[in-house]
Amino acid sequence: MAAGVLFMLIGCSNVANQLLSRSAARRREIGVRLALGASRARIVRQLMGESAVLALASGVCAWILTAAAWKLLPSIVPQNIPRLITASVD
């Protein structure tokens, strides 16, 4: 379980780092939008919307990969693992 949590933390930190680097690269674009009259609230809504789309797409991809791995797992692992048959993705 600790390995799973560590794996998730690494993934989350990678995504956060990617978002921060993208925002640093988009600093000029945001400045132009502010100069053209966009409010700060509108820019925040746009950035939050982009982050929500990224999170939704990541969640869907993770669900698809989990479902595929779950079908493949019983053929790879030994059959003497306790309660392998009753385990499921929730």
Gap between the Cα atoms of 85 and 20, Å rounded: 42
pLDDT of residue 5: 87
Please report, to the nearest 10 degrees, the dihedral formed by the alpha carbons of residues 81, 83, 86, 90 taken in order: -90
pLDDT score recorded for residue 49:
93
Per-residue pLDDT of the chain (90 residues; tens, 9 = 90+): 888 889 889 988 988 888 888 888 889 999 999 999 999 999 999 989 988 998 899 889 988 988 888 888 777 878 787 877 777 777
Distance CA 36, CA 30 (A): 10
pTM above 0.95, yes or no: no
- Distance, in Å, from the CA atom of 38 to the CA atom of 30, rounded to the nearest integer, reads 9
Q: Taking Cα atoms as reference points, which of 4, 40, 47 lies closest to residue 23?
A: 47
Q: Collapse the DSSP code of 1 into the 3-class scheme (helix H, G, I; strand E, B; otherwise coil) and give the result.
A: coil
